[in-house]
Structure 1
Amino acid sequence: MSKIAFLVAAEGIERVELADPWQAVKDAGHEPVVLSPDSGEVQTFDHLTAADKWPVDHPVADVAVGDFAALVLPGGVANPDALRRDEQAVAFVKDFVASGKPVAAICHAPWTLIEADAVRGRTLTSWPSLQTDLRNAGATWVDQQVAVDGNLITSRNPDDLPAFSETLLKALA
């Protein structure tokens, strides 16, 4: 059983973008783990409405890339915007991408990849409003369910979650 890191901020996480890949990873026999800049709980949302709270398993400063087989970056607008302002979270993402292990980001989550300088020369997809940000950071943006470029797996939105989770699980096989 491999540990899979789910890195999120304290709030603003799109619930389904955390819960669905989490369940897929768990159902496949892996151990999903919530990482966040701080300990305690994180607040998920159904768009703009507060939803479930999730316990943080470990602050990101207390773990190493070697502890995990893959990294999942759920979206939500506020979540990746907060993560990209946290130096330890950004350093963890940068090191994870450099490790060659799978990094799966959905919706607005590629903002954190941009901050980690991990998109230059890569092809990604995202929520449509990020396409200019991705292009300005040196990426090629495509409008498709899932884009895979090396160890980066990206998807556009919650409608893409089945394909996103399936692609993540294939990368872990």
Structure 2
Amino acid sequence: MAAQLAGKKVAFLMTDGVEQVEFTEPWNALRAAGALVSLVSPTAGTVLGFDHREKGDTFDVDLPVADADAGTFDALVLPGGVVNADHLRMDEASVAFVRSFFEQHKPVAAICHAPWLLAEAGVVRGRSVTSYPSLKTDLVNAGAHWSDEEVVVDQGLVTSRRPKDLPAFIAKTIEEIGEGEHAGQTV
């Protein structure tokens, strides 16, 4: 498995309030598969994780999103967390960063509340997705085809509902990153 993503550069975009397990499990799995991972954030210094409503660990930011260029990465992972996703969708640089991955046809994986950011970036119209159930109306209103499944893959876009879906989410994320750019992954 270590060579499956050898040399692939993957950005993890998140801020304070991220659901910690939705960051750490994919981060560790992608690293184990050979990916070079970077934590990108509008937050300077560190990001505070949460275990639902309880404060978790802090994680060092590798790159400010304002300085990040999607062209230097092969894929993007968006961990969830209500506060994390809500803050990111209000940050113009984060929204632009997400959108640029779609413009470049690169794989994007979003779990739980992270698809809010996809709706904000205007990249879900006509796409099949899932999310935490409370986001269904927002995603449908943004033009997505929403379904209640553990993982939905649509031409380089991987989405899942919640932490219990992480095994399927991680497997499909690794698969889509390994495949590379997808012509159907577009704005």
TM-score between both structures, scaled by the size of structure 2: 0.90
Which residues in structure 2 correspond to 1:140-151 (within 5 Å)?
Answer: 140-151=145-156
Q: 2:126 aligns with which of 121, 127, 136?
A: 121
- 1:67 is matched by which residue type in structure 2? T
Where 1:22 maps in the other structure, the secondary structure is: helix
Cα distance in 2 between the residues matched to 1:82 and 1:63: 18
CA contact (8 A) 1:39 1:57 kept: no
1:157 matched residue in structure 2: 162
2:65 matched residue in structure 1: 60
1:152, distance to aligned residue in structure 2 (A): 1.0
Cα distance in 2 between the residues matched to 1:41 and 1:172: 26
Which residues in structure 2 correspond to 1:10-29 (within 5 Å)?
Answer: 11-29=16-34
Q: 2:56 aligns with which of 44, 51, 59?
A: 51
- 1:69 is matched by which residue type in structure 2? D
Render the CA deviation track for 1:116-165: whole Å, top value 9, x for unaligned. Answer: 00101111000000000101111110010111112211000000101101
Cα distance in 1 between the residues matched to 2:111 and 2:39: 16
Render the CA deviation track for 1:1-47: whole Å, top value 9, x for unaligned. Answer: 111100002x1100000000000100001111100013200000000
CA contact (8 A) 1:97 1:151 kept: no
Alpha-carbon RMSD across the aligned residues, in angstroms, is 0.7
- Flag as ranges the 4+ runs of structure 1 deviating above 4 A: none
1:30 aligns with 2:35: yes
1:8 aligns with 2:14: yes
Q: 1:87 aligns with which of 78, 89, 92?
A: 92
Aligned residues: 172
Where 1:4 maps in the other structure, the secondary structure is: strand
Render the CA deviation track for 1:49-98: whole Å, top value 9, x for unaligned. Answer: 00010000000111211111110000000001000000000001011122
Cα distance in 1 between the residues matched to 2:18 and 2:13: 10
TM-score between both structures, scaled by the size of structure 1: 0.97
